[in-house]
Amino acid sequence: MNKTTVTGWLASGVLLLACAQTAIAHHSASMFDFRKTETYEATVKKYQWTNPHGWLFLSVKNAEGAEVEYGVELTSPNLLLRRGWRPTTFQVGDKVTVVTNPMRDGSSSGRVVSVTKADGSVWTER
């Protein structure tokens, strides 16, 4: 995935989805590095409630202060629902702190470990 700078109009779901679609595979857990975790502050751009995996698309400030687009993978909505997650749990613009197992190749994605919202609620899949 290209570390594209996300401007306001670029942040449409369609473009975010297209970006993720070309680069990110599901059910290929070997692309994630489960020995590492990465934590970052982010703004929710899209919360996608789809099988086989849900996704959070995020805007993250990198070390240079530029906004970088991340797409991070959740488990299936079938399981998220039973964990208390809802399609309304995250709204566009929500400020979140995300912990992921990052990609081995360093691209701007990862497998979600937890998401903490501004109200302090912590969301995990387990």
Q: Which of 67, 69, 85, 102 binds other proteins (CB under 8 A)?
A: 85
Closer CB to other proteins, residue 54 or residue 68? 54
Nearest distance, CB of residue 89 and other proteins, angstroms: 7
Closest CA to 39 of 96, 98, 95: 98
Token digits of residue 28: 């290929």
67-73 and 122-123 beta bridge pairing: unpaired
What mask of x and - would describe binding to other proteins in positions 13 to 42, judged by CB under 8 A? Answer: -----x-xxx-xxxxxxxx-x---------
Q: How far apart are CA 36 and CA 94, in angstroms?
A: 25
Supply the Cα-derived Rg of the chain in whole angstroms. Answer: 13
Give residues with Cβ within 8 angstroms of 23, minimum separation 6: 1, 107, 109
Closer CB to other proteins, residue 64 or residue 119? 119
Which residues contact other proteins by CB under 8 A? 18, 20-22, 24-31, 33, 48, 50-53, 75-76, 78-79, 81-86, 88-89, 104-105, 117, 119, 121-124, 126
